[in-house]
Chains A and B, each alone.
Chain A
């Protein structure tokens, strides 16, 4: 197959393909979650997997997030590589002891004797009119915890390559999929590939300002960069791809070049991913900055149901555009 053999896949298809390839490659991999088998999850991301791999590999569980996540921790410690499906990221609250006190710490607490090679896949992202308990982006919570790795893919290509690396990783990895991107299409090579965890990607080169963005905010930042180009501002869009580990060097190097930075992320702004990344940039590129590092996160409010209310709580291409113009002195 030539290296240029590329198809368009949706974000959901890319994830499904990564799962299928790893299920084929490694018999220790199993998928556990609510309605993951015949239903293929409410988002249909896993549709078709049970037909190929059967119910011994694609395993429906009770509505029991702490129970099946805890079970996955024990299975991972004893020779398996489970992938648990937590339907909505909001339900992370139900598995926090299993992930934070158990999975994240077992390798360290045992002095390296035990390992927990598991993946927790879950969703994030607002504007689906799902209200406050089905719309949160809680990746900052787990990014805070040493021992966990946290992945936030922004394209079908990244989703596939990062998920394959997450499944092969020897550590517990939390993998966030913005549910608003499941139908997003993008090029995905036919050939096998993986993307290492901890390597940022410059999604669009630029010279005037760096926009660091995560997950679906990368797509929003790319749209803002198009608008900025029309007013003569060259924006560089940098996607960390993983918040833990965080590729500090790529972020700092970009801002050293552009001298300005905006950090965009869909988690709540206070104490969030934007704060951490802004601090990394301020620390690493201080003498190169021509303006304060600015942050755009989700508004510090529970996600409202009513569409006109919900829409103002998240960063948009226009809010990024306006802030970038101001920072560049071209407002």
Chain B
């Protein structure tokens, strides 16, 4: 296994245009999630919302290495993956509000956004539930000779699920073009992963002889560089890989998880937010290299806020599905 914590400028291959693009994408995700939080706490959004705030560098760093027709699968905490892979916030908000204009016509909601047009095979509300789908998409890509790669995003909570290891075994046996991206945000819901996970995370892929890397998931350049290596490797027939991204969930397990002191301290949260924030760190780097100045970074947020507000309004103004249509799409 290889551990990369710092990506050099040359290694990351990020220039000014790419850098601002990635920063904008991270800003979009953060603003989107803040708006979700607001919609939820104002009781406008039904159901559950699991926010991706704090983990933006993982989705953006990985998806920036993917082609439009490459596949991803996502999780209950999936809004960031969807946006980073190309989903539009207006149809995402519409889905979150259960509207007909949503990506799933309101049938899926927050935890099930799928968008085949951008290679998104769906977020999944079963922990590790999409491991089979992602591996199968990679099997299909290899079998069809399409050159596509599949990325399976999952949290470290999925490390407790057997099906993940079943498909990792298959992927390594058959050298499938799939990258398993483990976002270790430290908490399986309300429990620290050290209380649930024996041994080391990277010992798991090692047991299958699978190439694995570990990166600082709050450093988008490191994620981007590692994802580039692993995606290129998979695409060129080198087989699957496992990428552990060490990250942090700023908010609760879901929006309603407000009182968190019983499982983690406010000091810990503050430390991650103030010293390792992925947007702040990447913004500093962009300014330090002269790729951007603070005004450019602020402009990314202004643009994102405008786009997100317009998108949210679109969704709020959209009609609900017709109840008489409830049985449509049970069967193809």
- B115 interface residue per 8 A CB criterion: yes
Q: Is the CB of A111 within 8 A of B132?
A: no
- A268 interface residue per 8 A CB criterion: no
Q: Is the CB of B102 within 8 A of A102?
A: no
Q: Is the CB of A71 within 8 A of B116?
A: no
Contact mask A99-122 → B, CB, 8 Å, 1/0? 001100011111111110100000
Given contact pairs A110-B107, A111-B108, A147-B330, A79 touches B140 in the complex (Cβ within 8 A):
yes
Q: Is the CB of B132 within 8 A of A98?
A: yes
**Residue from the list B104, B105, B131, B140 in contact with A78, Cβ < 8 A:** B140
Q: How far is the CA of A68 from the CA of B131 in the complex (A)?
A: 11
**Residue from the list B103, B133, B166 in contact with A64, Cβ < 8 A:** B166
Q: Is the CB of A80 within 8 A of B140?
A: yes
Q: How far is the CA of A12 from the CA of B52 in the complex (A)?
A: 52
Q: Is the CB of A66 within 8 A of B143?
A: no
- B328 interface residue per 8 A CB criterion: yes
Q: Is the CB of B108 within 8 A of A66?
A: no
**Chain B nearest Cβ from A79, distance in angstroms:** 6
Chain A neighbourhood of B169, CB < 8 A: 62, 64, 67
- A171 interface residue per 8 A CB criterion: yes
- B162 interface residue per 8 A CB criterion: yes
**Residue from the list A78, A111, A171 in contact with B137, Cβ < 8 A:** A78
Q: Is the CB of A102 within 8 A of B129?
A: yes
A:72-92 near B, CB below 8 Å: 72-80, 82
Chain A neighbourhood of B106, CB < 8 A: 111
Chain B neighbourhood of A112, CB < 8 A: 105, 328-329, 332
Q: How far is the CA of A62 from the CA of B71 in the complex (A)?
A: 25
Q: How far is the CA of A146 from the CA of B62 in the complex (A)?
A: 35
Q: Is the CB of A109 within 8 A of B112?
A: yes
Closest to B104 in A: A111
Q: Is the CB of B71 within 8 A of A78?
A: yes
Q: Is the CB of A109 within 8 A of B136?
A: no
- B3 interface residue per 8 A CB criterion: no
**Chain A nearest Cβ from B318, distance in angstroms:** 14
Which of A69, A74, A98, A171 gathers most chain B CB within 10 Å? A74
Given contact pairs A78-B136, A147-B330, A109 touches B166 in the complex (Cβ within 8 A):
no
Q: How far is the CA of A251 from the CA of B201 in the complex (A)?
A: 56
Chain A neighbourhood of B163, CB < 8 A: 66-67, 70, 97-98
Closest to A77 in B: B121
- A295 interface residue per 8 A CB criterion: no
- A130 interface residue per 8 A CB criterion: no
Contact mask B93-128 → A, CB, 8 Å, 1/0? 000000000111111100010111000011010100
Closest to A82 in B: B136
Given contact pairs A75-B143, A97-B129, A114 touches B328 in the complex (Cβ within 8 A):
no
**Residue from the list B73, B126, B135, B140 in contact with A97, Cβ < 8 A:** B126
Contact mask B293-332 → A, CB, 8 Å, 1/0? 0000000000000000000000000000000000011111
Q: Is the CB of B141 within 8 A of A109?
A: no
Chain A neighbourhood of B82, CB < 8 A: none
Q: How far is the CA of A66 from the CA of B165 in the complex (A)?
A: 10
- A149 interface residue per 8 A CB criterion: yes
Question: Number of contacts between A and B (CB, 8 Å)?
Answer: 146
- A170 interface residue per 8 A CB criterion: yes
- B139 interface residue per 8 A CB criterion: yes
Chain A neighbourhood of B288, CB < 8 A: none
Given contact pairs A78-B71, A111-B104, A113-B103, A69 touches B137 in the complex (Cβ within 8 A):
no
- A30 interface residue per 8 A CB criterion: yes
Closest to A111 in B: B105
Chain B neighbourhood of A78, CB < 8 A: 71, 121, 136-137, 140-141
Chain A neighbourhood of B140, CB < 8 A: 74-75, 78-80
Q: How far is the CA of A40 from the CA of B110 in the complex (A)?
A: 44
- B203 interface residue per 8 A CB criterion: no
Q: Is the CB of B132 within 8 A of A71?
A: yes
Which of A71, A108, A112, A171 gathers most chain B CB within 10 Å? A71
Q: Is the CB of B329 within 8 A of A108?
A: yes
- A326 interface residue per 8 A CB criterion: no
Q: Is the CB of A66 within 8 A of B114?
A: no
- A56 interface residue per 8 A CB criterion: yes
Q: Is the CB of B116 within 8 A of A74?
A: no
Q: How far is the CA of A149 from the CA of B332 in the complex (A)?
A: 11
Q: How far is the CA of A198 from the CA of B32 in the complex (A)?
A: 45
Chain A neighbourhood of B135, CB < 8 A: 67, 70-71, 74
Q: How far is the CA of A70 from the CA of B126 in the complex (A)?
A: 13
Q: Is the CB of B170 within 8 A of A113?
A: no
**Residue from the list B102, B112, B139 in contact with A74, Cβ < 8 A:** B139
- B42 interface residue per 8 A CB criterion: no
Q: How far is the CA of A111 from the CA of B137 in the complex (A)?
A: 20
Chain A neighbourhood of B292, CB < 8 A: none
Q: How far is the CA of A115 from the CA of B135 in the complex (A)?
A: 17
Q: How far is the CA of A73 from the CA of B167 in the complex (A)?
A: 12
Q: How far is the CA of A74 from the CA of B133 in the complex (A)?
A: 4
Q: Is the CB of B104 within 8 A of A113?
A: yes
- A194 interface residue per 8 A CB criterion: no
**Residue from the list B136, B143, B329 in contact with A77, Cβ < 8 A:** B136
Nearest 4 A/B pairs, CB to CB: A70-B132, A74-B136, A67-B166, A111-B105
Interface residue ranges, B against A (CB under 8 Å):
71, 73, 102-108, 112, 114-116, 121-122, 124, 126, 129-141, 143-144, 150, 162-163, 166-167, 169-170, 173, 328-332
Given contacts A75-B136, A97-B126, could you give 16 more A-B pairs where the C-beta distance is less than 8 Å? A66-B163, A67-B166, A74-B132, A74-B134, A74-B135, A79-B144, A102-B126, A106-B133, A107-B332, A109-B104, A109-B108, A110-B107, A111-B107, A111-B108, A112-B328, A117-B332
Give 11 A-B contacts (CB < 8 Å), ordered by A residue.
A67-B170, A71-B132, A71-B167, A73-B132, A74-B134, A77-B133, A102-B132, A107-B330, A109-B114, A110-B104, A111-B108
